[in-house]
A and B are shown apart, each in its own frame.
Chain A
Amino acid sequence: MDEKPLYEGSFTVVGGNFDNAGEVSTNIKSILKKIGLSKDVVRKAALVAYESEINIVSYARKGMIRLRVVPDCIMIEAIDEGQGIPDIEQAMQPGFSTANQKIREMGFGAGMGLCNIRSFSDIFQISSEIGKGTHLKMIIKANNNVIQ
């Protein structure tokens, strides 16, 4: 973890901006591709970033996604200022959702987001404070696939 990162940066995500939801993840994907990580790893990381971004747009006032890439792994953090999650265990249940119509029209809000994030991450951590926001931390192993 103390290695010099191949990439380090953070991206702002605006809550409620449904038209541009996914822009940050598209950006993250192209950064990871340029680094030369394997297709499979890039795809997993982009998926995790995208579901996290959709969550911030859907439920928070604003937030950011932090990306840190070291040769062994990709670390993605999604930190938002929002309502927070009252019951994390319940929120992690497949199918549990508090989504409104707007979110459902986009093809999301069926209560799969956090489950997908967890299942595509090698390490997943979640913490949340009511009225303050939610913090997700994900690590995706790169399996030494970095071409340097």
Chain B
Amino acid sequence: MTLHELKKLLDAEVLIGEDQLDMDVNTAFVADLMSDVLAFATAGSLLITGLTNPQVVRTADVLDIAAIIMGRGKLPSQETFQLAEELNIPILTTKYILFEIAGRLYAKGIRGCIEKVGSK
């Protein structure tokens, strides 16, 4: 699925990365705990979260995450926005709750970047 399709599906607003909407994504990880993202998320996956601080962007950068989806209508802080712009990491925001985001993406073929812990 391209970020463009994802934007439509989640009725999302693209805050950063309007020029990267052709990017293709197939996997995702949902968490508000960045240490778990670091432990389990894989390169090229979507990071779906309700956190909005700069550490979300730092974590995404460290892991080569494709794009950040902020759920529950969350908006990045000014520092977060600037950092994402600087590191060129797309941020989309949507009013859907994280469960709905995950369900809608799963129904369209996006899969977890791992299925179970310890099952790489």
Contact = CB atoms under 8 A, between A and B. Distances in A.
Given A26-B58, A50-B58, A105 B53 contact: yes
Contacts of B43: 39, 43
Q: Give the residue among A43, A107, A112 with the most B Cβ atoms within 10 A.
A: A107
Interface stretch (A17-25, A61-69, A78-86, A138-146): A17-25
B35 A106 contact: no
Contacts of B79: 19
B97 interface: no
B68 interface: no
B61 interface: yes
Q: How large is the interface on A (under 10, 10 to 19, 20 to 34, 35 or more residues)?
A: 20 to 34
B64 A43 contact: yes
Contact of A25 (B35, B51, B58): B58
Contact of B35 (A21, A22, A26, A112): A112
Chain A binding surface SS class: helix
Contacts of B36: 110, 112
Chain B binding surface SS class: helix
A48 to B, nearest CB: 10
A56 interface: no
A110 B51 CA distance: 15
A77 interface: no
B54 interface: yes
Contacts of B88: none
Given A47-B62, A107-B51, A110-B35, 4 more contacts: A50-B62, A107-B32, A107-B33, A112-B36
Interface of A: 19, 21-22, 25-26, 29, 39, 43, 46-47, 50-51, 54, 105-108, 110, 112-113, 115-116, 119
22 contacts: A21-B54, A21-B55, A26-B62, A26-B87, A43-B43, A43-B62, A47-B62, A47-B63, A50-B58, A50-B59, A51-B38, A105-B53, A106-B34, A106-B53, A107-B33, A107-B34, A108-B35, A110-B35, A110-B36, A112-B35, A115-B39, A119-B39
